[in-house]
Structure 1
Amino acid sequence: MQKLLQTPIFRSIRARYIPPFSTFTSLSDYALDNHNIANEVLTLIDEVHPMEPALEKVTHFLNKQIVVSILQAQLKRDPKICFRFFIWASRSPRLRSGLAHNLIVGMLSNGQNDNNNEFDLCWSVLDDMRNEKVPILADAFVALISGYWRLQRAEKAVETFGRMKDYECTPNLDAYNIILHVMVKKDVILLALAVYNMMLKSNCRLSCFTFTILIDGLCKSGNAQDALNLFDEMSDKGILPSKVTFTVIMSGLCQARRTDDAYRLFYLMKSRGCSPDIVTYNSLLNGFCKLGRIDEAFALLKSFRNDGYVIGIQGYSNLIDGLIRAKRISEAEELFWKVFEVGLTPDLVLYTIMIRGLSDARRVKSALNLLRDMTGRGITPDTQCYNALIKGFCDVGLLDQAQSLQLEITQHDQFANTCTYTILVCGLCRNGLLGEAQQIFNDMEKLGCFPSIVTFNALIDGLCKAGKLEEAHLMFYKMEIGKNPSLFLRLSQGADRVLDSASLQKMVEKLCESGLILKAYKLLVQLSDSGVVPDIRTYNILIHGLCKAGQINGALKLFEELQLKGLLPDSVTYGTLIDGLQRVDREGEAFKLFEHMDAKGCKPTSSVYKSLMTWSCRRRKISVAFSLWLKYLRSLASQENEGINIVEKYFEKGDLENAVRGLLEMDLKLRDFDSAPYNIWLTGLCQASRVEEAHQVFSILQEFRVNVSAPSCVMLIHGLCHEGKLDEAFEIFLYTKEKGYQLLPRICNNMLQALLCSQEKSALAFELLSRMKSMGYNLNTYLQLRTKSLLHHHWNIRERENMSTG
């Protein structure tokens, strides 16, 4: 203290501000606490310019508390001096503090008015310091970025980061982290990754927080694998993940339906001594529930409780949502009412989940009663809650009630949103009310709601199904142009064309390397705000409409176009086109497209294989259909090639019985057994007039308790009747009765006529009639005139025989 008061600066200040107490004989009598030192420094920074050289002489007498006191006092006097003092103090780790940073951010975000813009004052301070050749540290820009972000002025925050180089200031870890946070929150993950690459090139020290921000952004943008790769990169760099990092990556994996990977990370987290919290537990529960693995979720809950986890409203919400997804609605209801019993009160989220579940189960009356119960308990439903109920009413065709509920939303100070109108558009299209759907679509923008990609897709699908392909195309082009057609045109032209996400990422990285970070940000935001862009589902809807109308060349043109625009065809795209080519008898091209699909890395789904099998069977190419399914089985990791090869040899030898048995033994081990291929073969054998073999397949399927579909039964009955095997045909009819299938009049009449035309089997016809009557067939309307005539003839014969016997 004595040294402080003897400095020339403080001697001059002391003479003016410290009264001479003659009773004190030593400097200790004038002991100055932090408050007094702060006052001395306040005087100094007010009067001395530039302040930095003078402050350097007294820096060792200052501490964090004194710095904060000076800032608090100066905030009310002169923001410019306050900001400059903050920049100076930030040079020393001993004087820098989070509280000082927060004071400046508070000054920036709270002190804005028309006459006094603190941001402009701070920028003028930076300009003065640059002109005076006073070094400026990154903390100044971190404060400005934080201030802009607190006011949700993301573009100014990005601009500030980009201007650091103009002041010869290199971003530090805090600057990178805050701007990455802003970019992730604004959903410009491509820009965040480009800035991360800048960090790596500048050899800036990375922190756990840096990785957590980026992992969160990647997960939320649907790039779970990239997030996992970054998590591994973090470990490779020797940075230990925190509890938050683990929770973020586990939550992202669960959202990506990779719950098993999340569970493995959960154990890794515990093994490293990082204790999970309630957010971690709830994320895992939610992951298992969303996949429909509800029994595993309840088992997890038991183990979590052993760790000390106490289930709350969010935990109950996850479990109830899981039960609903697993179609166990009664159990979901039971658990919902149990929430009250344990002393908890369901919140808006839980009520919405339950209302959605009841609506999806077509129990709209119960869902509406629950909404009334909810409002009676003082919980106000929001638009999302109403949307769940509106969708339920649309699904059951009660469109007037759905539209009444839409009007009811405003009574709770809420507003219908894009999702509300999209639900109504979907419902109206599904019920054939295309005109009304178009009217709602056209009114959306007037009501301040812009159609989403789902809205466009629903209307385009409705137009296609109504055969209005020209209007569907017009809607597609309206969607494609969006609100900013010049932007798309500009990006798709020139040397650096942007046609897909990879080329867009390269452009963003190039802009960042050139220091044009703000330009990159504006580009990505413009793309985001420029309206909806056709996605692969939009193209699939149009391609399906064209294929159905026989316009396969138009469908193939769209297939080429979507790839030029950076979209990747999916299995639905290929499957639709393959089926479309088969419909117009272009089988060779269909198989070429199938091979092209595999070569392009789009793994054909079982649906694509089954479509090709069906068409091959229609062309009596049973061996091709059989080989296709074996190829599909070989593509599954769970199947052994040795077993498939044995089955293939049986088939090549013509031993159909052992081939089918061998396949069934393998297939039934799969979690999701599919009986469709067997029904396709059975039908194909009938179409190829190989009825005896078809009946053999039917018998094997019965032996293995595999359901035979109604169409396959029809084909088999028809084939057996045609070959005069009426006992076997009757056996198949009895099977349809057992399964609850009701056959078309044509099939029943054909079989009755075949039985009645046979002298030996005519008695079976009357037994068949008796069975049909017991199954609820209306014989008066079902039986054709010829059938009735034959029945009348046989009835007369039986009557005469009875009379002669009598």
Structure 2
Amino acid sequence: MLEQSDILPDIVLYTIMIRGCSEAGRFEDAFSFLNEMKEKGFVPDTFCYNTLLKALCDVGNLDGARSLRSEMLLNNVVLDSTTHTIMIFGLCNKGLLDEAIQVFDEMEKVDCHPTVMTYNTLIHGLYRARRLEEARMLFYKMEMGNNPSLFLRLTLGANQVRDSENLQKLVDNMCQSGQVMKAYKLLQGIINSGVVPDVVTYNTLIKGLCKVRNLDGALRLFKELQLKGLSPDEITYGTLIDRLLKAHRESDAMMLFHNILQSGGTPSSSIYNSMMRSLCRMKKLSQAIDLWLDHLPRKYNLSAEDEVIANARKQFEHASLDEAVRELIKVDQQYGSVNSTPYTIWLIGLCQARRIDDALKIFRTLEEFGIDVTPACCALLTKYLCWERNLNAAVDIMLYTLSKRFIMSRHVGNRLLRSLCIRHRRKDAQALAWRMHLVGYDMDAYLREPTKDLLYSQ
């Protein structure tokens, strides 16, 4: 193939071609290059095989990956830590955790030490499969390295193993009581890796603990991470703050938020959004708005005394919400970063505080600038407008959702149609129902029986 181009191929060029074909999903061509390479007397090295192995695992072709790995063993090619990590990654992605653990255990037999990436991959897979105890044990193995007695103190209890003599006694007791396999697994678990966990490892563990609602354990790991000299990143803070807020532990979340600021960091927009949602839920809308206004100078590298931000703050203080939002959107447009999220959070907060007129003003402003309002916002605003008997505005919101091809929640849509009928506007309700049908609503399934009776009964 390559000779036709008058190019003298070598192992590097073949590897490049194999990698290119593999990444493009052209596996037949990749294997053709591999076979041609071997026919020309070149011996594929570990890097070459790993390139093809990774591509197979990335697309979930584990049979091909297993076959290639067997070929490496047959040809006496060294399986390095990258080879094993790639296989573990592919197996974990398919949920084949037992086989992934087997590959991990084989590394020790061939004197191949797992890297931090190997540990991270397997720990992440174990947490995804909710095999939390095994993930925790693996983490401690990784962290303790050459200190098995310390590893055992952490995993079995503070007073059970203090030195090698106690370790021997513990194993003897297990064997005498018939727990031979438990003793074997215990000793097998103490590996001589010397690998130190990184922030990715901690993030995986923190996320896993948060998923099972062990927030105190996640916070302990967060503190331990810092004691180890590692710096929490955006994922660390984002995961913890989001979960703490969902558990209504606002003070702990706020502590972490201030921790970011005090360390000279800048919280991400997603963290600000989570904080604002929580404040709005607690009816603290003004604090949510102040939080965002404090963020904007950092986001756009503006002066803390920027005139536009200062004017927007004054307008909020004087209850000119729509004008303030209008000014902030112009700033977003100026810096090419228009995002509806903060404004829709405030809109929902206004609805929750029963400030429906102000919420409607923000909706109109977003509509004016062509910024999409989320279906959830539209549903909530429509519901409250029906309660306020502002049916004209509620119909406008419904028509907006139809123009955007949003599907209004069944509960709110039925409420609006019933409200129109009850207020002696059956023709308007019927016209609206027909327009809903035209954009794809299955009205027979969507309408509830009481709504149908009001719409169509004589």
- TM (norm. structure 1) is 0.44
Q: What SS is found at the alignment partner of 1:658?
A: helix
Instruction: After TM superposition, list the pairs within 5 Å mapping 1:422-433 onto structure 2.
Output: 422-433=85-96
Change (3 A) 1:407 1:689: farther
Q: Report if aligned partners of 2:107, 2:114 keep a CA contact under 8 Å in 1.
A: yes
Q: Residue 64 of structure 2 is aligned with which of 404, 421, 426?
A: 404
Q: Residues of 2 paired with 1:375 and 1:544: CA distance?
A: 41
1:563 matched to 2:226? The reply is yes
Per-residue deviation, 1:476? 1.2
Q: Report if aligned partners of 1:570, 1:602 keep a CA contact under 8 Å in 2.
A: no
Q: What SS is found at the alignment partner of 2:229?
A: coil
Q: Report if aligned partners of 1:406, 1:416 keep a CA contact under 8 Å in 2.
A: no
The equivalent residue for 1:544 is 207
**Cα shift readout 1:415-460 (whole Å, capped 9, x = no counterpart):** 6654454345445544555445444444444466543323322332
Q: Residues of 1 paired with 2:383 and 2:248: CA distance?
A: 26
Per-residue deviation, 1:755? 0.4
Change (3 A) 1:411 1:636: same
**Cα shift readout 1:603-652 (whole Å, capped 9, x = no counterpart):** 32222222211211222211111111111112246324222111111111
1:770 matched to 2:437? The reply is yes
Change (3 A) 1:378 1:625: same
* Amino acid across the alignment from 1:596: N
Change (3 A) 1:357 1:592: same
Q: What SS is found at the alignment partner of 1:569?
A: coil
Change (3 A) 1:687 1:432: farther
Structure 1 residues without counterparts, runs of 5 or longer: 1-339, 359-363, 395-400, 490-528, 798-806
Instruction: After TM superposition, list the pairs within 5 Å mapping 1:444-523 onto structure 2.
Output: 444-446=107-109, 449-482=112-145, 484-485=146-147
Q: What SS is found at the alignment partner of 2:232?
A: coil
Instruction: After TM superposition, list the pairs within 5 Å mapping 1:695-774 onto structure 2.
Output: 695-739=360-404, 741=406, 747-759=409-421, 760=425, 761-773=428-440
**Cα shift readout 1:124-162 (whole Å, capped 9, x = no counterpart):** xxxxxxxxxxxxxxxxxxxxxxxxxxxxxxxxxxxxxxx
Change (3 A) 1:769 1:565: same
The equivalent residue for 2:169 is none
Change (3 A) 1:403 1:635: same
Structure 2 residues without counterparts, runs of 5 or longer: 39-43, 152-191
* Amino acid across the alignment from 1:790: T
Q: Residues of 2 paired with 1:472 and 1:762: CA distance?
A: 57
Q: Residues of 1 paired with 2:281 and 2:6: CA distance?
A: 61
The equivalent residue for 2:195 is 532
Q: Residue 268 of structure 2 is aligned with which of 605, 622, 626?
A: 605
Per-residue deviation, 1:387? 3.6
The equivalent residue for 2:349 is 684
The equivalent residue for 2:27 is 368
Change (3 A) 1:417 1:592: same
Q: What SS is found at the alignment partner of 2:420?
A: coil
* Amino acid across the alignment from 2:51: C
Q: Report if aligned partners of 1:421, 1:441 keep a CA contact under 8 Å in 2.
A: yes
CA RMSD of aligned residues (A): 3.7
Per-residue deviation, 1:657? 0.9
**Cα shift readout 1:467-525 (whole Å, capped 9, x = no counterpart):** 4433332121111123x237999xxxxxxxxxxxxxxxxxxxxxxxxxxxxxxxxxxxx
Q: Residues of 2 paired with 1:660 and 1:468: CA distance?
A: 47
Q: Report if aligned partners of 1:352, 1:388 keep a CA contact under 8 Å in 2.
A: no
Q: Report if aligned partners of 2:62, 2:90 keep a CA contact under 8 Å in 1.
A: no
Instruction: After TM superposition, list the pairs within 5 Å mapping 1:656-695 onto structure 2.
Output: 656-695=321-360
Q: Residues of 2 paired with 1:451 and 1:691: CA distance?
A: 58
Q: Report if aligned partners of 2:325, 2:362 keep a CA contact under 8 Å in 1.
A: yes
* Amino acid across the alignment from 1:485: N
Per-residue deviation, 1:382? 1.9
Change (3 A) 1:677 1:351: farther
The equivalent residue for 1:791 is 452
* Amino acid across the alignment from 2:219: L
1:647 matched to 2:312? The reply is yes
Q: Report if aligned partners of 1:352, 1:384 keep a CA contact under 8 Å in 2.
A: no
Per-residue deviation, 1:351? 3.6
Change (3 A) 1:445 1:712: farther
Q: Identity across aligned pairs (percent)?
A: 35
The equivalent residue for 2:51 is 385
Change (3 A) 1:729 1:748: farther
Q: What SS is found at the alignment partner of 2:205?
A: helix
Q: Residues of 1 paired with 2:6 and 2:357: CA distance?
A: 63
* Amino acid across the alignment from 1:669: Q
- TM (norm. structure 2) is 0.73
Change (3 A) 1:658 1:564: same
The equivalent residue for 1:64 is none
* Amino acid across the alignment from 1:382: C
Q: Report if aligned partners of 1:613, 1:680 keep a CA contact under 8 Å in 2.
A: yes
The equivalent residue for 1:592 is 255
Q: What SS is found at the alignment partner of 1:534?
A: coil
The equivalent residue for 2:185 is none
Change (3 A) 1:676 1:794: closer
Q: Report if aligned partners of 1:683, 1:712 keep a CA contact under 8 Å in 2.
A: yes
Which has the greater radius of gyration?
A: 1
Per-residue deviation, 1:752? 2.8
Per-residue deviation, 1:741? 4.5
Q: What SS is found at the alignment partner of 1:601?
A: coil
Q: Report if aligned partners of 1:390, 1:406 keep a CA contact under 8 Å in 2.
A: no
Per-residue deviation, 1:588? 2.6
Instruction: After TM superposition, list the pairs within 5 Å mapping 1:194-205 onto structure 2.
Output: none
Q: Report if aligned partners of 1:383, 1:415 keep a CA contact under 8 Å in 2.
A: no
**Cα shift readout 1:185-207 (whole Å, capped 9, x = no counterpart):** xxxxxxxxxxxxxxxxxxxxxxx
* Amino acid across the alignment from 2:27: L
Per-residue deviation, 1:372? 4.8
Change (3 A) 1:592 1:411: closer
Q: Report if aligned partners of 1:355, 1:385 keep a CA contact under 8 Å in 2.
A: no
Q: Report if aligned partners of 1:460, 1:472 keep a CA contact under 8 Å in 2.
A: yes
Q: Report if aligned partners of 2:285, 2:350 keep a CA contact under 8 Å in 1.
A: yes
Q: Residues of 2 paired with 1:779 and 1:439: CA distance?
A: 55
Per-residue deviation, 1:653? 0.8
* Amino acid across the alignment from 2:434: E
Q: Report if aligned partners of 2:23, 2:55 keep a CA contact under 8 Å in 1.
A: no
* Amino acid across the alignment from 1:794: L
Change (3 A) 1:690 1:575: same
Q: What SS is found at the alignment partner of 1:382?
A: helix
The equivalent residue for 1:803 is none
The equivalent residue for 2:158 is none
Q: Report if aligned partners of 1:386, 1:409 keep a CA contact under 8 Å in 2.
A: no
Per-residue deviation, 1:591? 1.8
Q: Residues of 1 paired with 2:396 and 2:90: CA distance?
A: 43
Change (3 A) 1:373 1:590: same
The equivalent residue for 1:299 is none
Q: Residues of 2 paired with 1:695 and 1:714: CA distance?
A: 12
Q: Residues of 2 paired with 1:419 and 1:739: CA distance?
A: 48
| 603-612 or 401-410, which deviates more | 401-410
The equivalent residue for 2:242 is 579
Per-residue deviation, 1:699? 2.4
Per-residue deviation, 1:595? 1.7
Per-residue deviation, 1:581? 3.1
Change (3 A) 1:371 1:742: farther
Per-residue deviation, 1:726? 4.5
Change (3 A) 1:769 1:605: closer
Q: How many residues align?
A: 396
Change (3 A) 1:754 1:567: same
Q: Residues of 1 paired with 2:310 and 2:15: CA distance?
A: 53
